[in-house]
Structure 1
Amino acid sequence: MSQNRLSIQYAFRLQILKLKIFLRFFIDDKLSAPLTLTSSNLMRIDSHVHIDTYDVDIKDVLNEIEQHKIFTIAVAMDPESYVKSKEIAEHCHYVLPTFGIHPWQAHKFNERLSEFDHFIDESPMIGEIGLDFHWIEDESLYPAQLQVFEYFLQKAQQQDKVVNIHTKGAELKVIELLEQYQVTAIVHWYSGPIELIQRYLDAGAFFTISVELMFSDHIKEIAKTVQLNRILTETDNPGGYSWLTNKVGMPSVLNLVIDELAKQKQVTVDSLIEQIEVNMRGLVANRDDVLSLMDRLNKY
Structure 2
Amino acid sequence: MVENNRMLTFVSHLVLVLGLLTVALPLWIAFVASTHGQADLIAGRIPILPGAHFMENWGTAVTSGLKRAGGVPVGLMLFNSLVMAIGIAVGKIAISIISAYAIVYFRFPFRMAIFWMIFLTLMLPVEVRILPTFEVAANLDLLDSYTGLTVPLIASATATFLFRQFFLTVPDELTEAARMDGAGPLKFFKDILLPLSWTNIAALFVILFIYGWNQYLWPLLITTDENYYTIVMGIQRMVTVSDEEPRWGIVMATAMLAMIPPVLVVIVMQRLFVKGLVEQEK
TM-score (norm 2): 0.29
Give 1 or 2 for the bigger CA radius of gyration: 2
Higher RCO (Cα < 8 Å, 6 or more apart): 2
When normalised by structure 1's length, the TM-score is 0.27
Structure with greater strand percent? 1
Higher helix share: 2
